Amino acid sequence: MGKAYYDQESDTLYVANGDGSGWFGFFVVLSTPFFVVASLLGEYAQIVYRHPVVSTGVYFLLAWTASWWFHRKKRITNRKTGILAGVLTLLPIWLAQLMYAIPYIVAHDNMLTVTIEWVLVTGISFGISFLLLHIGLLFRNGKKHLLLASTYLAIALGVLAAV
């Protein structure tokens, strides 16, 4: 028999046994979001795989909106060029998805490794893109930001071509 604990508020005696079922429940609760993400990732990959042109259009709309949002301040010179630079800075995220992650997800059935791989690829491309977007915004000049974005896009295309 396990150790007994007395709760004075409810006047109840609790007995904790050591069968380990609490750890199993903890694992189930902890892993549920991961499995939900894995199943949603499979659906996302199928939609992008079947409709790449529509998905690319949606992505460019989202990238343009985000870039416009970041370049809405009056102090930025060459704002339209800066918006284009923002879209080019965010483009490697989509290229990594379209050229690497989506075909990898569709080709493999093991959702555990696929989800981990997708999180790593997306996280790295997202982090680098938004870091360079922020650096480009610090220039407050769309032409300098466009030069930075073009260089980053060329490097990202080289990396994706090597993969």
The tens digit of pLDDT for each residue in 112-155 reads 888 888 889 899 999 999 999 899 888 888 899 999 999 999 99
Does 22 fall in a domain?
no
Domain count, the chain: 1
Residue-number span of the structural domain to which 75 is assigned: 33-162
pLDDT mean across residues, the chain: 87
Please tell me the distance from the alpha carbon of residue 62 to that of residue 127, in angstroms, as a whole number: 17
Q: Please, are residues 160 and 99 in contact by the beta-carbon 8 Å criterion?
A: yes
- Residue 67: CB atoms within 10 A of its CB come to 24
- Helix H or strand E encompassing 108: none
Does 2 fall in a domain?
no
Does 156 fall in a domain?
yes
Residue 73 DSSP one-character state: S
Does 4 fall in a domain?
no
pTM over 0.75: no
Q: What is the pLDDT of residues 3-21, one digit of tens each?
A: 777 778 888 876 666 666 6
- In sequence order, the β-bridge partners of residue 15 are 4
Residue 141 DSSP one-character state: B
Question: For 16, left (φ over 0), alpha (ψ -120 to 50), or beta?
Answer: beta
- Residue corresponding to tokens 């909106």: 65
Does 1 fall in a domain?
no
Kindly provide the b/e burial profile for residues 3-31, where b requires at least 16 CB atoms within 10 angstroms of the residue's own CB.
Answer: eeeeeeeeeeeeeeeeeeeeeeeeeeeee
Does 5 fall in a domain?
no
Does 80 fall in a domain?
yes
Does 125 fall in a domain?
yes
Judge whether residue 90 has pLDDT over 80.
Answer: yes
Judge whether residue 72 has pLDDT over 90.
Answer: no
